[in-house]
């Protein structure tokens, strides 16, 4: 079965065509600058078997981008998809499992899309476009929140009146679940531990969003993100944890303009807001380290706050997990920035962590164990692969549905 996996951004569309169950990537790429015209033309970076091409084409919306991607794939009969798998950031309170798309699922996706106003609406529009243009192709929807459906009530509850919570659905949902589950499964394989016995802390440190996940017996116990992806760690442009009184004060001073405050906290804060020079922590760390910047004190503070938040949550989650098998670093920063891994774990021998600085600096191929031999808790760097995880979930769903249909027919 050939499954095309879509990861939809506000102005981009990443895709990978994966043959299952062999997990062979057949094609992939990204449509960039989807939407209104920009200074640079919209284009698709397309790759098949190592051969790359760039197609410049107008893509005013994700439906057009999807149609253009399918046109590229349909040039070769061996690259025509049999099914579509979608990544959806937020599943709301009702989607506790990944699903096959139908009318009821589509209606619920449209109803809950404002729970993640940055991530869900373009993805929902893409799902609708795929359904309209290729109605015979089965579609699955894989939610970042599903892995966190096991977070217990004590960890997911906010201290608010129950009637208010029931009315508005205020609770911790958690995010990056697809990535956290994927790297945890890979860690279990690497360590020779059954997944349903694995205790770990997963650190998904992206160049945009970031979160930690406490995992006990292969199940999510807690996640640093909450009702929205705004809570938790300091991120590229998101503030992370913030005293609610700050948000209330901002709202008053913005004369009740909630959109302005939301934009500030989601798009103008975090690493960008605190450093004043870049949304990428790699730029901030490098500039602070060279000692030449005139704003070196502010850059140093930004880097320290970023690391402080991760280290604080790591310690808290190791306490919750108990006897952890490993700490996992993944995504762009977690995989590629040795300084962050070292700064977060150094000196935590009291938690059983003992990082080897030489291994940490030298690693080039993942997965890798960065621990000293005596480290009771292994420190791992594992490349995430959300598209492969989505393909796995989609194949399992569609295979099960096919088996059920065959049984009914008999």
Distance in angstroms (rounded) separating the CA atoms of residues 398 and 72? 25
| Distance (Å, whole) CA 305 – CA 210 | 14
Average pLDDT score over residue span 274-300:
85
**In which residue are the tokens 């529009």 written?**
125
- Looking at the whole model, is its pTM more than 0.75? yes
What span, in angstroms and rounded, lies between the C-alpha atoms of 221 and 375?
Answer: 24
Instruction: State yes or no: is 82 an active-site residue.
Output: no
Residue 15 · residue 4 · CB < 8 Å: yes
| pLDDT for position 408 | 52
Closest listed residue to residue 87, CA positions, set 407, 391, 350:
391
pLDDT 10s digits, 111-164:
998 888 878 999 999 999 999 999 999 999 999 999 999 999 999 999 999 999
Average confidence score pLDDT of the chain: 94
pLDDT greater at residue 348 or residue 116:
348
Confidence at residue 148, expressed as pLDDT on a 0 to 100 scale? 98
CATH number of 177-386: 3.30.930.10, 3.40.50.1100, 3.30.420.40, 3.40.640.10?
A: 3.30.420.40
Q: Is the pLDDT at 405 greater than 60, yes or no?
A: no
Q: Is the peptide bond before 241 cis (omega within 30 degrees of 0)?
A: no
User: d(Cα 180, Cα 140) in Å, to the nearest integer?
Assistant: 20
Tens digit of pLDDT for each residue in 23-76? 999 999 999 999 888 888 999 999 998 899 999 999 999 999 999 999 999 999
Q: Which of 82, 102, 103, 144 is catalytic?
A: 144
Residue 219 exposure: Cα atoms within 13 Å on the Cβ side:
7
Q: Determine the topology of domain 2-143 in CATH.
A: Nucleotidyltransferase; domain 5 (3.30.420)
Q: Using CA of residue 34, residue 36, residue 38, residue 42, what is the dihedral sign?
A: positive
As a whole number of angstroms, the distance between CA 73 and CA 347 comes to 51
Segment holding 46, helix H or strand E: strand 43-48
Helix axes 177-191, 386-409, angle to 10 degrees: 90
Q: Which of 281, 302, 312 is nearest to 207 (CA)?
A: 281
Residue 320 has pLDDT above 90, yes or no: yes
- For the chain, the domains span 2-143, 177-386
- So what's the pLDDT on residue 295? 72
Q: Which of 19, 177, 162 is nearest to 87 (CA)?
A: 177
Please state, in angstroms and rounded to a whole number, the distance separating the CA atoms of residues 370 and 373. Answer: 9
The 10s digit of each residue's pLDDT in 205-248 is: 998 899 999 999 999 999 999 999 999 999 999 999 999 999 99
Q: Do domains 2-143 and 177-386 have the same CATH topology?
A: yes
């Amino acid at each position: 079965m050939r499954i095309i996996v879509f990861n939809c951004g506000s102005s981009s569309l990443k895709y990978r065509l994966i043959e299952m169950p062999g997990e062979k990537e057949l094609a992939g790429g990204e449509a960039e600058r989807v939407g209104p015209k920009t200074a640079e033309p919209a284009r698709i970076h397309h790759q098949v078997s190592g051969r790359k091409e760039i197609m410049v084409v107008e893509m005013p919306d994700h439906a057009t981008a999807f149609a253009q991607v399918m046109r590229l794939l349909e040039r070769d009969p061996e690259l025509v998809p049999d099914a579509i798998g979608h990544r959806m950031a937020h599943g709301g309170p009702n989607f506790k499992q990944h699903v096959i798309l139908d009318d009821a699922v589509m209606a619920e996706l449209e109803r809950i899309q404002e729970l993640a106003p940055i991530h869900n609406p373009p993805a929902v529009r893409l799902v609708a476009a795929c359904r309209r243009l290729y109605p015979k192709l089965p579609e699955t929807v894989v939610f970042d929140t599903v892995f966190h459906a096991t977070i217990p009530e004590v960890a997911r509850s906010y201290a608010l009146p129950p009637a208010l919570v029931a009315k508005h659905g205020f609770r911790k949902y958690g995010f990056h679940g697809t990535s956290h589950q994927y790297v945890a499964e890979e860690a279990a394989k690497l360590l020779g531990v059954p997944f349903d016995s694995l205790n770990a802390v997963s650190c998904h440190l992206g160049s945009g969003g970031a979160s930690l996940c406490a995992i006990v017996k292969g199940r999510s116990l807690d996640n640093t993100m909450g009702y929205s992806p705004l809570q938790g760690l300091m991120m590229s442009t998101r503030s992370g944890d913030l005293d609610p009184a700050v948000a209330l004060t901002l709202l008053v001073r913005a004369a009740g303009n909630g959109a302005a405050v939301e934009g500030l906290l989601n798009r103008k804060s975090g690493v960008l807001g605190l450093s004043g020079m870049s949304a990428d922590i790699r730029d901030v760390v490098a500039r602070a380290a060279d000692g030449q910047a005139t704003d070196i004190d502010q850059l140093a503070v930004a880097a320290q706050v970023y690391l402080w938040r991760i280290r604080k949550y790591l310690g808290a989650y190791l306490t919750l997990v108990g006897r952890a098998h490993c700490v996992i670093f993944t995504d762009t920063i977690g995989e590629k920035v040795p300084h962050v891994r070292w700064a977060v774990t150094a000196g935590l021998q009291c938690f059983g962590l003992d990082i080897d600085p030489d291994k940490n600096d030298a690693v080039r191929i993942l997965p890798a164990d960065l621990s000293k031999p005596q480290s009771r808790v292994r420190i791992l760097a594992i490349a995430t692969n959300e598209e492969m995880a989505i393909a796995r979930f989609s194949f399992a769903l569609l295979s099960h549905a096919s088996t059920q249909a065959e049984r009914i027919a008999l």
